Amino acid sequence: MTGPVVVVGDTLLDRDVEGMVSRLCPDSPVPVLDETGYVDRPGGAGLAAVFAAAQGAEVVLVTALADDAGGARLSSLLTAAGVQVYALPLAGATPKKIRLRAGGRVLLRHDRGGVPGEPGEPAEAVLRVIASASAVVVSDYGRGVARQPALRAALAATRAPVVWDPHPRGPGAVPGVQLATPNEAEARELIPALPGATRLATASRGAQGLRRRWRAGAVAVTLGGDGALLCHTDSTPLVVPTPSTAEGDTCGAGDRFAVAAGLALARGALVSEAVQEAVAEASAYVAAGGVAAALPPPASREPGTVTGPGAERIGVTEVAAVLAEVRARGGTVVATGGCFDLLHAGHVATLQAARKLGDCLIVCLNSDSSVAGLKGPDRPVVPQGDRGRLLAALSCVDAVMIFDEPTPHAALSWLRPDIWVKGGDYATGAGDAPALPEAEILRRWGGHTVVVPYLDGRSTTDMIAAARAGGRPAGTCCAAARSSEGDWAAAPVPAVERAR
């Protein structure tokens, strides 16, 4: 494979709520679930992308994320799984599927998210990554991403093999896909069965009908525990049985099938070989226990929150409100990030300059665990709650978002700021704006990075070291002490790394 595996489609937030059932509700004959914990995972196209990344592939996910806490959670989970997220804006709320489980069985599924909103336009970087793919897997969950016109044009034009996992509410595959993979129920809904027809005859009719309708190279109708039926010409269909019969949690089995087929095609396999490999992979996945066994459980905690006085502008919910207001009036979203341990004049100057570049400023703040991982076990000196309150108290800061990862990449994939501001060494020769990893991420949605100079002699690390040594940090007296924010504002124009 010479390019990334690109997964395109709707991403949902899946939550498995585990508990115990020992009694019935007194006012109705239904079991009462006593919750013992929960696990969040990406669902839909997000789950397909995580499956591909778990196989060691370089994976790009083209999806739509909402400006809410669910979108931020998905961005964090996907980035932690090694998936590069190219997110389109999504109107409305993050779709959620909540499964209530006890004793290894699902008692009830509760869906949230309502009517899907329309995803926004993809940036040029999204179209380029589809063109450069070694394989494309479209995981359509009927919520609009696969219907986006520019994406459909790019999918029709790519020379990579395309595997299309359709949905009855979706638009259908673009012409020329190498393989479409509906399940039995989807094929029957799209191509109704003839009265009295057998199961295999119905699957064959559906596969042939969809192959002609979509002008697809082949269609494989998955048959659950009985394998798949493949049609790639008008000749007799090929039935691919499962290596062994297995019962278990089938959630995600269709995504596992489509991803396995896509990876096989990327390696140069024939369609029949890819389907055989996909049947074996999906069967083994179900036999092993499904998604709970296939993926390590991610952390259940939500992004960092701060409560109490002074926390009114801290948290994902607060950030989402600012984003919605600014974007509704066509404004510019500016973001910056850092540890901000011992807030000093250099920090304030950078934040004030950043705020002047747009209509709001969002600060991405490293959590305590993130700072400790970057700076050492004796940092931070100031806990994240206090650091967040100090930043939120500045008039130039509109909201603060706390993240746990070493880098703000997951936060950026969700925020999608128009401008990302970096300060400090990058403006004095120790760094290069085009080499900033954030610059490449900003290109995914057409944003750009701006580098601003620090006030000389302001360093948290130096301040802490001097305080511990009983001295005074260099650069805080004499000429350096006479520097003012007015002097800083007259500094040279910041360097800009624009999206290409």
* 489 C-beta neighbours (distance < 10 Å), count: 11
Length of the chain: 500
Given a contact cutoff of 8 angstroms between Cβ atoms, the answer to whether 130 and 158 are in contact is yes
Pick among 1.10.10.60, 3.40.1190.20, 2.60.40.420, 2.40.50.140: CATH of 5-294: 3.40.1190.20
pTM of the predicted model, to two decimals? 0.83
Q: Which residues are catalytic?
A: 255
**pLDDT value, residue 302:** 52
Given a contact cutoff of 8 angstroms between Cβ atoms, the answer to whether 11 and 64 are in contact is yes
**Domains of the chain, residue spans:** 5-294, 316-497
**pLDDT value, residue 293:** 79
Report how far apart, in Å, the C-alpha atoms of 379 and of each of 213, 382, 465 are: 61, 8, 12
**pLDDT value, residue 304:** 57
* 247 C-beta neighbours (distance < 10 Å), count: 8
The pair phi, psi for residue 165, each rounded to 5°, is -100, 100
Question: How many Å from the N-terminal Cα to the C-terminal Cα in the chain?
Answer: 25
The pair phi, psi for residue 111, each rounded to 5°, is -100, 140
Best CA proximity match to 239, nearest among 198, 267, 269, 268: 198
SS (H, E, C) the chain: CCCCEEEEECEEEEEEEEEEEEEECCCCCCEEEEEEEEEEEEEEHHHHHHHHHHCCCCEEEEEEEECCHHHHHHHHHHHHCCEEEEEEEECCCCCEEEEEEECCEEEEEEEECCCCCCECCCCHHHHHHHHCCCEEEEECCCCCHHHCHHHHHHHHHCCCCEEEECCCCCCCCCCCCCEECCEHHHHHHHCCCCCCCCHHHHHHHHHHHHHHHHCCCCEEEECHHHCEEEECCCCCCEEECCCCCCCCCCCCHHHHHHHHHHHHHHCCCCHHHHHHHHHHHHHHHHHCCCHHHHCCCCCCCCCECCCCCCCCCECHHHHHHHHHHHHHCCCCEEEEEECCCCCCHHHHHHHHHHHCCCCEEEEEEECHHHHHHHHCCCCCCCCHHHHHHHHHCCCCCCEEEEECCCCCHHHHHHHCCCEEEEECHHHCCCCCHHHCHHHHHHHCCCCEEEEECCCCCCCHHHHHHHHHHCCCCCCCCHHHHCCCHHHHHCCCCCEEECCC
Residue 416: partners with Cβ closer than 8 Å, 6 or more residues away: 87, 89, 333, 445, 447
Pick among 1.10.599.10, 3.40.50.620, 3.60.90.10, 3.30.70.2500: CATH of 316-497: 3.40.50.620
Structure tokens at 402: 């706390």
**pLDDT value, residue 343:** 87
- Within the chain, which residues score under 70 in pLDDT? 1, 246, 296-311, 424-435, 455-464, 466-500
